[in-house]
Structure 1
Amino acid sequence: MAVQIPFATISQVTESAVVEDIFLTGLLQQCQIDKNQPQWLRDVRQQANSWLSRLSVPTRKDEDWRFIDLSDLTQTKFVTSSVMRANGYSPLEKTENSRMVFVNGIYNTEFSNINGLPKEVYVGDLNNLPQEYDAKEYFAQCHGAQDVFTSLNTAGGNNVTVIWANKNTIVETPIHLVFITDGESESIFTQPRMLVVGETGSSISLLEEYTGVGEYFTNAVTEVYLKENARVNHTRLQEESKSSYHIGKTAISQERDSHYTINEINLGAKLFRHNPEVLQQGEQTESNLNGLTIAMEEQTSDTHSIVALTKPCGNTNQLHKCIVGDRAHTVFNGKVFVTKEAQMTDATQLNRNLMLSPKARVDTKPELQITADNVKCAHGATVSQLEADEIFYLRSRGLDENDANQLLIDAFAAEIIDRLPLESLQTKITETIKQKVSN
């Protein structure tokens, strides 16, 4: 019997969804699909288009979206763009020979260089994928592929970046993918898409970065497939502009003895939503989800995660932290499913929130659904403010109030930042947080 896990789904179109239907139709009309794509890929896109015709943009009436108002997004007219400016972007030096840069959804050769990667790993466009790789077995085959934003990406996305590590290939250099959007002159719409496959015994490290200026909408989807004993260390950095909208899906499928870790840093965007969804399909599988969200001013940041353990001896550990100030709003909904077959599993989940303002808002809902009877599972959530006693202690040691506050905030964030793979990235994130909080 197939395991029934409620991955992301969106309600059917109703009469009240007329505005959203026009919004989706307008976005699809902006997408220009490459007619030279293989027949199987055109079939997949057509199927996604068919799903999309029966779906609507979610509203507050949908349980998984009840804390988010998408009306500003749906009332904005977005266009695709061929502008290739990358103003002000400062690339990380440690990834200078393993970097792919996309500007407004278009591959930029000026900033890109993948000469530092071994020949045993393919990094490039799906249309140029060698015949020995069977992408149709993986592309758009992830669980939850029929939700509205994933369907929109599948139906209307053009460039698909493929990272494919051959059997027993070890890639020590982080593979850095940068998505830059320039929405200063017009509201831009982009749909980044990545397909990551780690064959048996392979090991790779990914750095997925989103940044930009102006008003734009990023609808990103990343699919990660790990074969037996494969390892993927995934860093996702979202540092979009203050006027942007970012909705993302990261779907992970793991086989026996595989290890997956995601370190997620969310700093920007006017409205942000990310859906990490992990499906453990093999025994002795390990999944680690580490997240840090910084929301200030009037930002809305939402993380909805699903981890499904379906085989014995699985392990998952999730720690998501939020720092919320001004009138910002953060949402965390983490679901862990342990099926009857997943005996002797170990699952922990914790959401910790630090509120810096009385007008900030936090909604948190960690969930466990267990049908196995021999497991070790725990979950929890905390919401707190800076402790007056701790601030007093630091001030008694000569620090002023601002420095004392910043030291406590840095300590709260350090547990996640210290897990990032590059020291230069750790420094960059720490300085960015300090700037956001001080402003």
Structure 2
Amino acid sequence: MSEVIQRDTMLSYITGSVESSAESVAIRAINERGREDLENTPFPTRKDEDWRFVDLKSITKSQFCKLEEANAADVGDISDHYLPEAMNCRLVFVNGVYSEELSSVEDLPNNVIVGNLAANSDNNSVKEHLGTITNYDDDLFAPFNDAAFTDGAFIYVPEETVVRTPIHILNVFTDAEKAFYATPR
């Protein structure tokens, strides 16, 4: 498959499965920047030293579904995966999407903000830091992740605040019937 066709295939996955799904202006801006950079990033081939032994055919030949379809899969009982020391202080993401019903943030000081990025995207810390350290440098997957990014964990601890309970971030991936990709932060 030619480099142009492979890149076009990747772009079609992104635009077809996550186009403008983010409600946050900050996240949409990262998506757009990722899409623009992805269009200008060469698709790796076996001629590239770093990719000599990597076969990307499974990615370019797969048909990915929307995250909403993947999240329809049954999670089942995941309580065995909860950390006892963080029983009431966890963020759970199922197939890359935040699950409020499986998350619990009760054991934290009142001034600590813990949740998902999408719901906290207006927070000044999110605006100041989100998307600022991505290094593209001809790496196809950095702009791909930014273009497809929809959510992630958000933890804000003010200076001089002590958090005695560990915060457990649990990413659960189900055995969805269709292939999907998730790019949580």
Q: TM-score, normalised by structure 2?
A: 0.80
Return the alpha-carbon distance in structure 2 between the equivalents of residues 63 and 164 of structure 1: 40
Q: Deviations over 1:58-79 (max 9, x none)?
A: 2332222333222223222121
Q: Are positions 1:101 and 2:92 aligned together?
A: yes
What secondary structure, in the 3-state scheme, does the structure 1 residue paired with 2:178 have? strand
For 1:190-205, what aligned pairs fall within 5 Å after superposition? 190-193=182-185
Return the alpha-carbon distance in structure 1 between the equivalents of residues 121 and 28 of structure 2: 18
Q: 1:23 to 1:119 in 2, by over 3 A?
A: farther
Return the alpha-carbon distance in structure 1 between the equivalents of residues 155 and 113 of structure 2: 6
Return the alpha-carbon distance in structure 2 between the equivalents of residues 108 and 116 of structure 1: 18
Return the alpha-carbon distance in structure 2 between the equivalents of residues 72 and 120 of structure 1: 46
Please tell me the root mean square deviation across aligned C-alpha atoms, in Å. 2.5
Q: Are positions 1:153 and 2:145 aligned together?
A: yes
**Aligned to 2:161, which of 155, 169, 173?**
169
How far apart are residue 156 of structure 1 and its match? Answer: 2.0
Return the alpha-carbon distance in structure 1 between the equivalents of residues 114 and 149 of structure 2: 18
Moved over 4 A (4+): none
How far apart are residue 132 of structure 1 and its match? Answer: 5.6
For 2:59, give the aligned amino acid. L
For 1:307-346, what aligned pairs fall within 5 Å after superposition? none
- Percentage of identical aligned residues: 28
| Contact 2:22 2:118 (C-alpha < 8 Å) held by counterparts | no
Equivalent residue pairs, number: 178
Return the alpha-carbon distance in structure 2 between the equivalents of residues 130 and 23 of structure 1: 30
Q: Deviations over 1:308-330 (max 9, x none)?
A: xxxxxxxxxxxxxxxxxxxxxxx
> Which structure 1 residue ranges, 5 or more long, are not aligned?
1-14, 194-439
- Write 1 or 2 for the structure with the bigger share of strand: 1
Q: Are positions 1:91 and 2:77 aligned together?
A: no
Q: Deviations over 1:245-295 (max 9, x none)?
A: xxxxxxxxxxxxxxxxxxxxxxxxxxxxxxxxxxxxxxxxxxxxxxxxxxx
Greater RCO, CA 8 A, separation 6+: 2
Q: Deviations over 1:78-102 (max 9, x none)?
A: 2122315213532233321111111
What secondary structure, in the 3-state scheme, does the structure 2 residue paired with 1:116 have? coil
How far apart are residue 52 of structure 1 and its match? Answer: 0.6
| Contact 1:60 1:66 (C-alpha < 8 Å) held by counterparts | yes
| Contact 2:153 2:169 (C-alpha < 8 Å) held by counterparts | no
Structure with greater Cα Rg: 1
Return the alpha-carbon distance in structure 2 between the equivalents of residues 151 and 16 of structure 1: 20
What secondary structure, in the 3-state scheme, does the structure 2 residue paired with 1:111 have? coil
| Contact 1:49 1:151 (C-alpha < 8 Å) held by counterparts | yes
Return the alpha-carbon distance in structure 1 between the equivalents of residues 12 and 123 of structure 2: 37
What secondary structure, in the 3-state scheme, does the structure 1 residue paired with 2:175 have? strand
> Which structure 2 residue ranges, 5 or more long, are not aligned?
none
How far apart are residue 184 of structure 1 and its match? Answer: 4.0
What secondary structure, in the 3-state scheme, does the structure 2 residue paired with 1:101 have? strand
Q: 1:186 to 1:150 in 2, by over 3 A?
A: same
Q: TM-score, normalised by structure 1?
A: 0.37
What secondary structure, in the 3-state scheme, does the structure 1 residue paired with 2:65 have? coil
| Contact 2:89 2:168 (C-alpha < 8 Å) held by counterparts | yes
| Contact 1:84 1:106 (C-alpha < 8 Å) held by counterparts | no
Q: Are positions 1:37 and 2:24 aligned together?
A: yes
Determine the structure 2 residue equivalent to 1:123: 114
How far apart are residue 138 of structure 1 and its match? Answer: 1.2
